[in-house]
Amino acid sequence: MISLMFNSVATPFWEWQRCVEYNLWTPNHPLSYLTISAVARKKMARVLVGVKRVIDYAVKVRVKPEKNGVVTQGVKHSMNPFDEIAVEEAVKMKEKKLASEVIAVSVGPTQSQEVIRTALAMGADRGVHVEVPAAEYDLLQPIHVSKILAKLALDEKADLVILGKQAIDDDANQTAQMTAAVLDWPQGTFCNKVEKTDAGLTIAREIDGGLETIKTKLPAVLSADLRLNTPRYATLPNIMKAKKKPLKKVTPKDLGVDTTPRIEIISVEDPPVRQAGAVVADVDALVAKLKAGGHI
């Protein structure tokens, strides 16, 4: 969803082209002033960042013997790496005085508070923990989380929601997009670079063909991709300070969101073991082997 921002500054020619192409208000049209959203004028954004507690990326994941999930008991968890990038971006915006406040949100059981504390230690101002009991959490899907985040974004009067592009446990890559849809806000996904302009945001997105640059107005939902930034370590004085920052606890019911499971996990299995390759002496042997195997 691409929308154009108009402001009282003279607009370059190529933007005129886009205006005409998309059949939108041309700048300097008398009524365009009325369509300028309040944030187009210089105002600092309030940023909501979603952080998910996942099994640490360096840990070897094992399937439970009952084959109904992976082993999480006693396994080290940490913040989803893409969410770290999202937090870093939000904190950077605050440091550049483009954001006024950074709120870290996590949906999950009690332990999810650990990742909120990490976000606070990285520079977020306050945290919100949406408590979901463990059994329900196993079946929680992006459709539920997006509704929760959308409600919080409105309640907290956020101007910007930044999420990681996907979580490393489910690789869904859906929450940011769904959240934007629920809110009917523009979305900038797979962000490689985000610049705040008077008009809103200029975003470079990582796509298959390279980088696509789009402009959106605020409020918006962004999803952070790998090369957006390098997340900082939480340093000691900040880790101390984080313990004192406020952390609010709510439930999905408080937000009016129904988290009834919509899926059922039938089974979870290991991927097939990779077969060893074979080494052949020369090209003729290779061709013979391929023929014998029915590959050619």
Token pair belonging to 161: 């929601």
Which residues, listed in sequence order, are joined to residue 218 by a DSSP beta bridge?
Answer: none
> Does residue 232 interact with other proteins by CB under 8 A?
yes
SS3 251: coil
Nearest CA to 144 out of 169, 178, 173, 170 is that of 178
The answer to whether residue 62 forms part of the interface with other proteins (CB under 8 A) is no
Tell me the per-residue interface mask from 80 to 99 with other proteins, x by CB under 8 A, - otherwise: -x------------------
The nearer residue to other proteins, 16 or 57, going by C-beta atoms, is 57
Q: How far is the CB of 88 from other proteins (least distance, A)?
A: 11
User: Please, which residues bridge with residue 53 across strands?
Assistant: 79
Q: Which two tokens stand for residue 212?
A: 């696509």
Scanning 8-16, 75-83, 85-93, 202-210 for contacts with other proteins by CB under 8 A, the matching segment is: 75-83
Binds other proteins by CB under 8 A, chosen from 240, 268, 286, 290:
240
Minimal CA–CA distance to 179: which of 220, 155, 150?
150
Residue 200 backbone class (left: φ over 0; alpha: ψ -120 to 50; beta: rest): left
Alpha carbons 32 and 34: distance in angstroms, whole number: 5
Token pair 């870093």 in the structure block, residue: 88
Among 239, 247, 250, 255, binds other proteins (CB under 8 A): 239
Dig out the tokens for 23 from the structure. Answer: 């059949």
Rank residues 59 and 265 by Cβ distance to other proteins and give the closer one: 59
Residues in 18-57 at the binding interface with other proteins, rule: CB under 8 A? 56-57
Give the shortest CB-228-to-other proteins separation in angstroms: 14
Q: How far is the CB of 77 from other proteins (least distance, A)?
A: 8
Q: Is 234 in the site for other proteins (CB under 8 A)?
A: yes
Whose Cβ is closer to other proteins: residue 23's or residue 73's?
Answer: 73
Taking the C-alpha atoms of residue 237 and residue 293, their distance in angstroms, rounded to an integer, is: 63
Regarding 286 and contact with other proteins (CB under 8 A), the answer is no
Whole-angstrom Cα distance, residue 28 to residue 141? 45
**Using the rule CB under 8 A, is 288 a contact of other proteins?**
no
Q: Which residues bind other proteins (CB under 8 A)?
A: 56-59, 74, 76, 78, 81, 230, 232-237, 239-240, 279, 281
